[in-house]
Amino acid sequence: MTGAAAGGPRPAGGDDPPAGGKKPMPVPSRPLVVAIAVACAGTLLAGIGYAVSGHPASSADDRSADRSRRAGLSGISGRARPAGALDLAAVDAILDRRARAVQARDRAGFLATVDPAFRARQRDLFDNLMNLPLSTWEQRADRADRADAASPEPEAAAGGDAWTIRVTLRHRLRGFDRTDVVGAQYLTFARRHAGSGTGAGTGLVITGDGGAQGLIDDPEIWDGGRLSVFHGRRSLVIGNDTPRARLRQIAARLDQAVPAVTAVVGPAWDQRAVAVVPATAERAAALVGDGQSLREIAALATVTRAAPGSPGNDRIVVSPAAYPRLNEIGRQVVLTHELTHVATHGADDPRTPVWLIEGLADYVGYKGLDVPVTSAARELRREVVKGRVPGALPGQQDFSGASGRLPQAYEEAWLACRMVAGRYGEDRLIRLYREARTRPDALQRVLGVDTAEFTAMWRGYLRRELG
């Protein structure tokens, strides 16, 4: 998971609507969060600072197992118990009917088996879903005999003739998702009573979710308020209670960033992006997970939950609290940075050295902008002019929350990649990035230097650029 954050005063020339306008998913695959804090001076970025979460990196196998567990378990906050006499085949029949209603845009069919007391919330859900370009939306009751033995029993008894069960939801955005996004939900079913007004059916009616049992759904963007969607040329921006002007401008910046990113990393990616803009920082944090706050982080790249063994889909989560505080250049840098992670799968990469992942994203983000190096790397420059030149490339520990030099670590990474592009060309920077994912000797193979020689070159470069 990677991201960018903003601090300082609100700059002029932003995307906010005029006074009187409205106030303004996926689980992370990497524990690292890059936070780009942009201080504004006129129309320029005066500097970039960074913050990261302090979680240690995990192995690829651990991460794959974690994604598999999260595919059905990340929303669970209570332990479920077997549903006993509940007919799960009847439940699936209801869920199938709901899926067909979504595809047919049939609100009455979607609500036909919903109790009147729960119908208003389900009507809001349906209306939000109708704004999305869904190619898939389906629910299925989880079975207690599923192969995932590490999980609790998926059905929970609510008592009497009511049952709260765990449901696996799969959905896919047409034109953007290659695989299903998979999450856990909870629905309570009860025996239908005469005169309930729900019509004929299987004898069951949906009366609520799992909240009364302490069972929490995996968060989805459509659960956080009225949904608006803006389709760009190569982007899809989804917002909750967000001014449409902001969604349009985010889409325009992503559309502009696609060719800029492609020009550096090459065309071998989908060249499109999905961004989500939750209504509040708290909702954004829920979508991201891992207890990560988005109050100071302007945007971050994540990967959605997926079925075991299946890759997730990339998302860019835009913070409603921090993103508006950036000026126009800052917003473009942030979104181009995150789109670079999408293009290179950097949000789900535990193997490539962090300095390459983040340095390349900043290199692409800054390319072509009239931002002085001494301004963009101002924290590092303060050290270099005092003779404190770093002795080694930033490692994983330098990007931890306890390092005390987070801005400098990211500035060091950016300048390392900038040096490679300037001295060897962008083609070799990209080749280095790709080979470093699988080969520890990538520096020698691609640039013809070992780590010590590369470090010496980089230290000299820092002195020339910042001294």
88 and 163, same domain (yes or no): yes
User: Can you give the pLDDT at residue 4?
Assistant: 53
**Cα dist from 443 to 282, 287, 463, whole Å:** 42, 37, 21
Residue 70 counted as domain residue = no
Residue 233 counted as domain residue = yes
Q: How many domains is the chain partitioned into structurally?
A: 2
Contact 172, 135 (CB under 8 A): yes
Q: Which of 161-165, 248-252, 412-416 has the lowest mean pLDDT?
A: 161-165
Contact 300, 3 (CB under 8 A): yes
Domain region containing 200: 75-217
- 3-state DSSP call for residue 415? helix
pLDDT per position as a tens digit, 48-74: 222 333 333 333 333 333 333 333 333
pLDDT per position as a tens digit, 165-191: 999 999 999 999 999 999 999 999 998
Which residue from 309, 223, 315 is spatially nearest to 273, judged by alpha carbons?
A: 315
Q: In this structure, what are the phi and psi dihedrals at residue 185, rounded to the nearest 5 degrees?
A: -130, 165
For strands 37-41 and 204-208, give the pairing. Answer: unpaired
The domain boundary, picked from 193, 217, 241, lies at: 217
7 and 146, same domain (yes or no): no
250 and 208, same domain (yes or no): no
| Distance of alpha carbon 301 from alpha carbon 26, whole angstroms | 10
- Tell me the CATH number at 356: 1.10.390
255 and 208, same domain (yes or no): no
Query: pTM of the predicted model, to two decimals?
Result: 0.80
Residue 430 counted as domain residue = yes
- Tell me the CATH number at 81: 3.10.450.50
| Distance of alpha carbon 39 from alpha carbon 330, whole angstroms | 9
The domain boundary, picked from 182, 217, 252, lies at: 217
286 and 178, same domain (yes or no): no
DSSP-derived secondary structure letter, 22: P
312 and 293, same domain (yes or no): yes
> With DSSP H G I counted as helix, E B as strand and the rest as coil, what are the percentages for the chain, rounded to 5?
40, 20, 40
Residue 170 counted as domain residue = yes
> Residue 4: how many CB atoms within 10 A of its CB?
34
Band (pLDDT 50/70/90 cuts) for residue 296 is confident
210 and 230, same domain (yes or no): no
Residue 324 counted as domain residue = yes
| Distance of alpha carbon 398 from alpha carbon 119, whole angstroms | 51
Q: Per-residue pLDDT averaged across 205-216, rounded?
A: 92
Q: Per-residue pLDDT averaged across 138-150, rounded?
A: 61
Residue 69 counted as domain residue = no
